[in-house]
Chains A and B, each alone.
Chain A
């Protein structure tokens, strides 16, 4: 079974500054995906960024980037130029890849980090 750990329950950052959210995971799978989801006060789950484990290059989506360290099983999210709209809960999630064989591909989530962007 997979586990995902987010050790920072709450964080805050000044508007326009940079913040990094931490995530570690444990798995025996070799092929998998890692995700960061954002959940604003509206409660909608929004995919922020996705990383495929077999890719060494870190994923980037505009102001969002990850630092993926496969050997250390670490997957942190960096938000640059923080904006007020970034205020939300952020969840790190794991999903095994279809290349891992048969089975289900459900998401396993961490407990989340509540990020507040301060004007």
Chain B
């Protein structure tokens, strides 16, 4: 158990819908990273937050957004969902910039 929690574990929704994925980092970790794992794109970095502020953006679509709240949990919002958004979404947290701890992931299926 990494100490990072993600909810829900599974999410099934329809095209055009909007969903929110939630992540709670390890106690004391200020950085949260979001990654997407899909069959065609592999594991890709989406976005990073540090202590409530956006720190870096990767290959994140404009339909996707994220935020980190004062209690350090983070949410990834995916809107206008398409079939190609079906993937495993991981959250990772870190405090030391030399290791990241991954949550169990949220499997999103868009029908």
Task: Determine if B100 is an interface residue (Cβ-Cβ < 8 Å).
Answer: yes
Q: Which residues on the B side are within 8 Å of A107 (C-beta)?
A: 33, 35, 43, 45, 92, 100
Q: Which residues on the A side are within 8 Å of B94 (C-beta)?
A: 105
**CB <8 Å contact, B48 and A106:** yes
**CB <8 Å contact, B99 and A98:** no
Q: Which residues on the A side are within 8 Å of B25 (C-beta)?
A: none
**CB <8 Å contact, A97 and B55:** no
The stretch of A15-23, A39-47, A64-72, A77-85 that contacts the partner chain:
A39-47
Bound together, the chains give a CA A99 to CA B2 distance in angstroms of 26
**CB <8 Å contact, B105 and A43:** yes
Q: Which residues on the B side are within 8 Å of A97 (C-beta)?
A: 97-98
**CB <8 Å contact, B58 and A91:** no
**CB <8 Å contact, A111 and B104:** no
**CB <8 Å contact, A105 and B43:** no
Bound together, the chains give a CA A109 to CA B43 distance in angstroms of 6
Cross-interface CB contact of A106 among B56, B88, B101, B102, cutoff 8 Å: B56
Q: What 14 new A-B contacts, CB under 8 Å, besides A98-B98, A109-B42, A109-B44? A: A43-B88, A44-B2, A45-B92, A47-B101, A50-B98, A98-B97, A103-B56, A104-B48, A104-B56, A105-B31, A106-B45, A106-B56, A107-B45, A111-B42
Question: Closest 5 interchain pairs by CB?
Answer: A104-B56, A45-B102, A109-B43, A106-B45, A98-B97
A→B interface (CB under 8 Å): 33, 37, 43-47, 50, 52, 91, 95, 97-98, 103-112
B→A interface (CB under 8 Å): 2, 31, 33, 35, 42-45, 48, 55-56, 58, 88, 90, 92, 94, 97-102, 104-105, 107
